[in-house]
Structure 1
């Protein structure tokens, strides 16, 4: 029996795979008749000490995402097979916020994310969001590889 997905969460990171992640999530949502949520996290770590206005940063990033992904979002919103399409942005520590504030409340049965291709040293220090999601989400996780 083939798995039928009903709620797909796409984790967007602004990296080179972001468009591929969005396209893959859109295709899977259309094929499965699934609700689709695109999510992005504004990393709070670099700005924790400077009193950044995270609400403004999130609003700015949401507007930028809507512009960057305009063709993909238009296709998703026009596709009658996809019951709902939403884009959300939150601020915090990336992996935790992505999972706890964006993905888990949506209750996805599939998470689509990208591979950033960190160097071995950077990976050792900061880890990998895709690895974190694979280990901690209680649903299928699809990692879209870089070209």
Structure 2
């Protein structure tokens, strides 16, 4: 019997890798039937604001508004593809923990579909990759998306200039 996933978590940040993960999640949800649902999440990394001496809530509100606009585009695309059960949240905190531990526990997630990291080797050593952390720490299955819908390698950074959602 084939494994079916009912609750799929897809972290999105407007990047090309997140777009690939979203597209594949839509296909998985369609294959798994009407009971499957997708939960999109954008995590605002509040640690990025800790170094700003005069913490400005307007900055957080701007980041949140941009995230909401990006997610609304994903919601529209999913509905056009026939996905009936899709929702989203915008969370605040450390993306690694929110994606790997908090949301899966709160929402009974059985699959996380996440884009492959865009970090180079030095950046991974210094800050670590969210994708790497999620694959090591999530209690549910994790699918790291590295290819497009035709299972062809993702475009290189040069090939996808201008692709990232604003």
Could you say which TM-score interval applies, normalised by the shorter chain?
0.7 to 0.9
- Distance in 2 (CA, whole Å) between partners of 1:98 and 1:52 is 25
- Distance in 2 (CA, whole Å) between partners of 1:138 and 1:91 is 21
How many residue pairs were aligned? 143
- Report what 1:43 is aligned to: 45
- The structure having more radius of gyration, on CA atoms, is 2
Give the C-alpha shift of residue 31 in structure 1. Answer: 0.9
Greater fraction helix: 1
How does the TM-score come out when normalised to structure 1? Answer: 0.83
Q: Tell me, which stretches of 5 or more residues in structure 2 are unaligned?
A: 147-153, 156-166
Equivalent residues in 2 for 1:104-123 (5 A)? Answer: 104-123=105-124
Alignment RMSD:
2.2
Q: Tell me, which stretches of 5 or more residues in structure 1 are unaligned?
A: none
Q: Deviations over 1:51-90 (max 9, x none)?
A: 24286256413322135xx2x422423555x441012111
- Report what 1:76 is aligned to: 78
Moved over 4 A (4+): none
- Report what 2:20 is aligned to: 20
Alpha-carbon contact 1:26-1:76 (below 8 Å) kept: yes
